[in-house]
Amino acid sequence: MNFNDIARIVRPIAQKIDRVITRGVVTKVNNDGVDEFNPGSGDSPQLVSVEGMPGDIYTEIPRYQQYGFESYPPPGAEAVLLAPSGESENSFIIVIQDISQRPTDLEEKNSTQWDEQGGRVKLAGGKVAIGNVNTPMVSTPTAAKVEFLEIVDRLLTVLQGVTNLGGVASGPSFLASVLAELALLQTDLQNIKGTL
């Protein structure tokens, strides 16, 4: 057995190993999770088409995401694929990122969830902040206080309507609408209770 014989035997194995982990560019996302080639397949993860190295096209392969998190990446984002045993038909995506849009202003040990419009939820220093790149980040207790003030404003508007009528409701429909608005206000207050 000479070197060429060994190379011929090892080459297919090396190619499979080389294809176990690969990178590519997202070309299409099927966010419905329904396999167009097998429509009766039921629930499935997001299916993503990726163009890898020249000649490597992956069509509607599953993208698994962390429990409780879901995103819809744009075409052009980068993907990292795993292919157990180096077989492309068993491939799945483990991560997708779009480096052209990712926030770069985080400090060490902080994290953020973001979208293409600049909306952000930031975890920093034991606090949660919500905002976007065009407005200041608002910590959640402040956001709850703003919501509380909006509820109080709605309540005052309802009470002003009663006062403008001299304190006398003009019929059952007016009273019903005031009571309905007060019930909504009570529900809104219950929803933010404990966040102030």
Model confidence over 69-87: pLDDT tens digits?
889 999 999 999 998 877 7
In whole angstroms, what is the distance from residue 73 CA to residue 67 CA?
Answer: 17
Domain count, the chain: 2
Q: Which domain covers residue 162, as residue numbers? A: 141-192
Confidence of residue 196 (pLDDT cuts 50, 70, 90): very low
As to burial, measured by CB atoms within 10 angstroms (0-12 exposed, 13-18 middle, 19+ buried), residue 76 is exposed
Residue 48 or residue 116, greater confidence: 48
- Give the whole-angstrom CA distance, residue 128 versus residue 173: 43
**Are 71 and 149 in a shared domain?**
no
Place of tokens 């403008």: 164
State which of 81, 97, 113 marks the end of a domain.
97
Q: What is the CATH number of the domain that holds 16?
A: 2.40.50.230
- 146 & 89 share domain: no
**Residue 132: what pLDDT?**
75
- Residue 120 in contact with residue 137, Cβ under 8 Å? yes
User: Which tokens go with 126?
Assistant: 């034991």
More confident residue, 160 or 85: 85
Stated pTM of the model: 0.59
State whether 89 and 25 are in the same domain: yes
Residue 34 lies in a domain: yes
Structural domain contains residue 84: yes
Same domain, 25 and 92: yes
- State the Cα angle at 195 between 191 and 196, rounded to 5°: 115
Got the DSSP string for 104-151? Answer: --PPTT-EEEE-TTSEEEEEETTEEEEEETTEEEEEHHHHHHHHHHHH
Let me know whether 145 and 82 are in one domain: no
Q: What is the pLDDT of residues 17-49, one digit of tens each?
A: 777 888 999 999 998 866 655 555 556 789 999
Give residue 62's pLDDT band: very low, low, confident or very high (50, 70, 90): very high
